[in-house]
Chain A
């Protein structure tokens, strides 16, 4: 039984190589669209999760460093300004504070191992309090020269509890006390040290990059931060939602660029589809003339040609989603290399809504690309076509 779709499919199969190349163009652009949309969704969710996992409600930083704080919380960036730990006294006197801890986050080059460690100096009892969900192999450091390693650090150097951990400071021998289980967040990339040890190793004995604060009642954050800002000069308070916004804003430009590139790729593939179908129409002019002679209306011809573009777009779209899902790791590695502040964990996952949306989008684009060749075909004069 012949149908419009069967006829269209058979026509596509008549030029397998051309159809395959056209379809691959669509698949590539849809795959990237799916990957970028999926990555954006994963990025937002991952960032929220990562901030939630810090267990803190806000951070006190030297004034003018809001964006840098965003960076340090997530990636241990080097901050040019430090808070004096004397600020701690003011914080501890403030009502409604459940917990406050100085945090010293910095990059520490280790020439012996040829890599840069991300150091996270914090009081260890505070660390246990703000990270109740961690599964630790071994223990939290109990002595000043013990360290707790994030999962990725331990995996990278193949370390286990009790192993020595090289120190860039002469005469300081560090030992691995414990290893944090895989969290899928930035936590996996840090080396956790008692704050005093971190300050000593980094050469900033009285300093902190920030003071992390957890409050008794999160609904009172506004009042507490206002009170602190008025009482302590030279500080700025950044809530975790502000950190998220800062990072999200920084990443927005990269996301916009990615989407613009994807849209251009889709436009190019749509032109490819139009060109391919247009060529097929010209090649089949006599055949179209025959169909008109045996009873096909202009609308029938329009439908057949439009069905061809629809099939190409849909098959290309589905293949693109499958390829993007299968190649998620590769794409994620690439996108991470061009986008700033990407949270840890799998960003590209198969999201049915995103997949359906991507296929629906290319379906509409395919329809638009098919209209011109379909109109052209429907206007072919059967008498001239049959004469050749």
Chain B
């Protein structure tokens, strides 16, 4: 489904060039639940951003559903992000002024689709927040905020869900709930890729890749 061919990524930090990825080759199958692990600064997030068409590699090629994204204009990459990719972040990034309902529906605004109540309610129910739809993010616990962010990542029916340390700010109980949701989504056929520092959660994924110094080492 997604194929990375010899991906390199170099960016500037001050006066020095940082080689975040040094030739990554990776194939991800549809419906797979994959964990990416590795120390801080290894290049995990950079890899996730390239997988999500949020960043472009300096060298190499990303093939998404058989189509190379290498020479795609920004507008095409935006379209892929809208239609095929869902993002979940460690910091949740919910908009404080909007209700849970509106936060979940936010990506529909950009994809110009109507925010159907039934669909939002189903997503909220799936993440266990059907009773919280009218609440503000400030009224939610950390776990609830992350579940809202997962529902937001799913609202455009993506083919891939990319989660950057989704349990990084949560206690073990809430981490378990988040993992259970991701597991269920994967079982239902959604390709799910998560970065985690939790070895126990990584061990339960179908596949775990370890990144070190910009290279996949296992």
Interface residues of A (CB under 8 A from B): 1-4, 6-7, 10-11, 13-14, 286-287, 289-298, 300, 382-383, 386-388
Contacts and interface: CB of A to CB of B under 8 A. Distances in A.
B95 A10 contact: yes
Contact of B78 (A11, A286, A297, A383): A297
Contacts of B86: 294
Contact of B110 (A287, A300, A388): A300
Nearest to A6: B102
17 contacts: A11-B95, A11-B97, A13-B97, A286-B93, A290-B87, A291-B110, A292-B54, A294-B87, A294-B107, A294-B110, A295-B78, A295-B111, A297-B74, A297-B78, A297-B110, A300-B109, A300-B110
B96 A14 contact: yes
B152 interface: yes
Interface residues of B, number: 32
Given A7-B98, A287-B95, A386-B89, A1 B49 contact: no
A7 B105 CA distance: 12
Contact of B81 (A13, A295, A388): A295
Contacts of B52: 293
B89 A290 contact: yes
Interface in B104-141: 105-111, 114-115
A293 B97 contact: no
Nearest to A381: B55
B110 A295 contact: yes
Contact of B93 (A290, A297, A383): A290
A387 B45 contact: yes
Contacts, number: 77
The 9 closest A-B pairs by CB, nearest first: A10-B97, A295-B82, A290-B93, A295-B110, A294-B107, A293-B87, A296-B110, A2-B102, A297-B78
A297 B106 contact: no
Nearest to A292: B54
B6 interface: no
Contacts of A14: 96-97
A251 to B, nearest CB: 49
B81 A2 contact: no
B156 interface: yes
Interface string B43-73: 0010001001011000000000000000000
B155 to A, nearest CB: 9
Contact of B153 (A286, A294, A300): A294
A295 B137 CA distance: 21
Contacts of A10: 95, 97-98
B97 A297 contact: no
A304 B78 CA distance: 17
A11 B152 CA distance: 19
B81 A294 contact: yes
Contacts of B109: 2-4, 7, 300
Contacts of A1: 105, 114-115
B91 interface: yes
B75 interface: yes
A19 to B, nearest CB: 12
Contacts of A295: 78, 81-82, 107, 110-111, 156
Contacts of B95: 7, 10-11, 287
Nearest to B105: A2
B152 A294 contact: yes
B148 to A, nearest CB: 12
